[in-house]
């Protein structure tokens, strides 16, 4: 075997002269299902407000017109969206794309330091944020020199005290009252493959997050790939898991590549109505499913665990659910079995993707009610996959090795980081760093991560980032962070720490000092890092950190040691799943 092709090709044509907003709002593509009117695109969860295409087009134009007038945005200017999900989130993205600007989406749970880093590396000129996130946005903006005149708020009538900043609806109204301030450009043929749409953060393999350069062509291609696969469903329409006209749940965060491409763009393109939910609360999610009669739920493994185990599940009418797609981390066969018993009418599938592949490489097996146990789905049409050994030798079906993929959805490179780019992006191929097995049905089974990244609640966490911060603590001489299995979060960060000589002396003279130091180290991380980077797995003291002769951390040894400690019940901090 040399290469494995995703079955179901060839793909329909992928336009390379359109921006993403033109593809979504203006063009009629052959793979896009026709949904009879009235067709609602978005529903605001809390109020039930429904928004259709004409209103979205008007709001996109009005916002773009106002932003061009106020901010004098030029092509290639970068604007950061720092907010939880909001019904105007896609409006903001598409308005910026009308102007030729680049969007970088940011986690609203970021600290000011983390947001400052993103603003700095992407050279963002302005911020669209939410009143809940305003104080952090202002602090980070001040640090990088963004004036408060370049901050706009999403609407939220429940929040007071932020009216000194214009909200998005104010700008829409202003823009609709003005004469046009811009002329939208049609891209030259092929330009969509190079003109950037997004700068999305990914942790890469080491160090701090990197900005992935994603051109307009990439999300357009990935949406078409998913739609083409969904269109191939062999079942009658009434029994298909993916159906135009269905109501989908937009709970996964839009700032994350999964929520951005798979939820926001694919679901809408495929004719689904999205119920936009700003913040995750499991019981509130169940209420939303019941209230809006939601049919399709894209989720991540922690939500699946809750669906299996949370006592509130039995208190709500979830009979409208017909399809679930889980991504960001693998689901075990045992969890899938539990879920199928809890919600027997629902189709269950998984997919696999990365920010660097923008986004999905695999998609659920649309002909199966329950995807093949243990698989992360089947390769999408248009994807070419290789499985290689550490020497780069091509492997065959059923042989474990690193997954390398080529796809029209692949991103271009990392922003201003040649070394990281050369390790991941090679001649059009993305080296995923994930060890997989592919069978003859082109189903992908994720075995392990060759890269050192942890996946916590679906988010990438680079151990080196936490290690660098812990080494700044006066009681830490050396450190290695690994992930330990956690049913709820997928993995939980655990720090193996070599204490300094002074810390060891204190612990010898006072036995309780060890617990105090561990608590202080966990707080040291929690004070400055977003919550999924916290040391939920705890801190363990060791005499030395194993390293190879060149000084590289032998992380696998400590990861295996952590799993053994966990199995023996000897971890000082017991990770507990949250229900």
pLDDT value, residue 577: 46
Residues across the chain: 579
Rounded distance, CA 168 to CA 56, Å?
13
Q: Are 290 and 325 in contact (CB under 8 A)?
A: no
Mean pLDDT, consecutive 10-residue segments, the chain of 579 residues? Answer: 89 97 97 91 97 97 98 96 97 98 96 96 98 96 97 84 83 97 96 98 73 98 97 90 96 95 98 96 97 96 86 95 88 83 93 95 94 93 96 93 96 96 95 93 86 81 84 88 87 93 92 93 93 93 78 78 87 59
Q: Judge residue 194's burial from the number of C-beta atoms within 10 Å of its C-beta, 0-12 exposed, 13-18 middle, 19 or more buried.
A: middle
246 and 295 Cβ atoms separated by less than 8 Å: yes
Give the pLDDT score at 331. Answer: 79
CA distance 141 to 50: 33
Residue 238 neighbours by CB under 8 Å, 6+ apart: none
Q: Which two tokens stand for residue 193?
A: 């493959």
**Secondary structure (DSSP) of 478-514:** EEEEEEEEETTTEEEEEEEEEE-HHHHHHHHH-TTHH
What pLDDT is stored for residue 203 in this prediction? 67
Please give the domain boundaries of the chain with CATH numbers for all domains: 4-14+203-449 (3.40.50.12780), 50-185 (3.40.50.980), 463-567 (3.30.300.30)
Q: Give CA–CA dist 119/113, Å, rounded.
A: 10
Using alpha carbons, select from 404, 40, 90, 10 the residue that is nearest to residue 261.
90
Q: What is the pLDDT of residue 525?
A: 94
Q: Give the 3-state secondary structure of residue 248.
A: strand
Q: Interhelix angle for 301-309 vs 333-342, to 10°?
A: 50
Is the bond preceding residue 410 a cis peptide, omega within 30 degrees? no
Number of H helices, E strands in the chain: 17, 27
- Other beta carbons within 10 Å of 158: 7
Q: What pLDDT score was predicted for residue 571?
A: 84
Q: Can you tell me the distance from the alpha carbon of 72 to that of 147, in angstroms, rounded to the nearest whole number?
A: 14
Coil, helix or strand at residue 449: strand
| Residue closest to 103 by CA, chosen among 74, 72, 80 | 80
Predicted model pTM? 0.86
Question: What pLDDT does 552 receive?
Answer: 62
Residue 496 tokens, joined:
């193996």
Per the listing, tokens 């937009």 go with: 250
Contact (Cβ atoms closer than 8 angstroms) between residue 420 and residue 204: yes
- pLDDT at site 550: 46
Return d(Cα 168, Cα 188) in angstroms, integer. Answer: 31
């Amino acid at each position: 075997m040399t290469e494995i092709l995703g079955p179901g090709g060839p793909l329909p044509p992928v336009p390379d002269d359109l921006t993403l907003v033109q593809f979504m709002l203006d063009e009629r593509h052959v793979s896009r299902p026709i949904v009879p009117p009235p067709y609602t695109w978005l529903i605001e969860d809390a109020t039930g407000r429904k928004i259709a295409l004409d209103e979205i087009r008007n709001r996109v134009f009005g916002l773009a017109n106002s932003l061009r007038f106020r901010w004098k945005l030029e092509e290639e200017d970068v604007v950061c969206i720092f907010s939880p999900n909001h019904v105007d989130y896609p409006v903001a993205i598409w308005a910026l794309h009308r102007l030729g600007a680049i969007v970088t989406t940011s986690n609203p749970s970021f600290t000011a330091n983390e947001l400052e880093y993103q603003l700095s590396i992407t050279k963002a000129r302005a911020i669209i944020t939410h009143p809940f996130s305003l104080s952090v946005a202002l602090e980070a903006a001040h640090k990088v020199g963004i004036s408060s005149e370049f901050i706009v708020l999403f609407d939220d009538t429940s929040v007071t005290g932020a009216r000194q900043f214009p909200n998005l609806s104010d700008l829409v109204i202003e823009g609709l009252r003005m004469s046009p301030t811009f002329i939208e450009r049609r891209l030259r043929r092929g330009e969509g493959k190079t003109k950037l749409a997004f700068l999305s953060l990914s942790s890469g393999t080491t160090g701090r997050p990197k900005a992935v350069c994603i051109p307009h062509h990439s999300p357009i291609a990935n949406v078409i790939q998913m739609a083409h696969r969904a269109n191939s469903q062999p079942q009658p329409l009434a029994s298909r898991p993916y159906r135009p006209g269905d109501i989908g749940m937009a709970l996964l965060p839009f700032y994350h590549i999964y929520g951005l491409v798979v939820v926001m763009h694919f679901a809408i393109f495929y004719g689904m109505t999205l119920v936009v939910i700003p913040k995750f609360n499991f019981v509130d999610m169940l209420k939303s499913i019941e209230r809006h009669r939601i049919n399709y739920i894209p989720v991540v493994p922690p939500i699946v665990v809750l669906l299996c185990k949370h006592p509130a599940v039995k208190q709500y009418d979830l009979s409208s659910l017909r399809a679930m797609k889980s991504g960001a981390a693998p689901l075990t066969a045992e969890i899938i079995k539990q879920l199928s018993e809890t919600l027997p009418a629902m189709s269950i599938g998984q997919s696999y993707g990365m920010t660097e592949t923008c986004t999905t490489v695999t998609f659920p097996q649309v002909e199966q009610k329950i995807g093949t146990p243990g698989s992360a789905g089947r390769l999408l049409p248009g994807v070419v996959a290789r499985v290689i050994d550490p020497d780069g030798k091509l492997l065959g079906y059923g042989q474990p090795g690193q997954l390398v993929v080529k796809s029209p959805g692949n991103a271009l490179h990392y922003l201003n980081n040649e070394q990281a780019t050369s390790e991941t992006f090679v001649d059009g191929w993305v080296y995923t760093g994930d060890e997989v097995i592919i069978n003859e049905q082109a189903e992908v089974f994720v075995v392990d991560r060759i890269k050192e990244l942890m996946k916590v609640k679906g988010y990438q966490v680079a151990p080196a980032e936490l290690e660098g911060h812990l080494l700044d603590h006066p009681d830490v001489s050396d450190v290695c962070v690994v992930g330990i299995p956690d049913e709820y979060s997928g993995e939980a960060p655990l720090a193996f720490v070599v204490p300094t000589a002074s810390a060891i002396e204190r612990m010898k003279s006072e036995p309780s000092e060890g617990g105090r130091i561990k608590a202080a180290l966990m707080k040291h991380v929690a004070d400055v890092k977003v919550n999924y980077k916290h040391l939920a797995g705890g801190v363990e003291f060791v005499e030395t950190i194993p390293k190879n002769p060149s000084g590289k951390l032998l992380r696998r040894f400590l990861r295996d040691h952590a799993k053994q400690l966990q199995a023996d019940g000897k971890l000082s901090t017991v990770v507990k799943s949250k229900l």
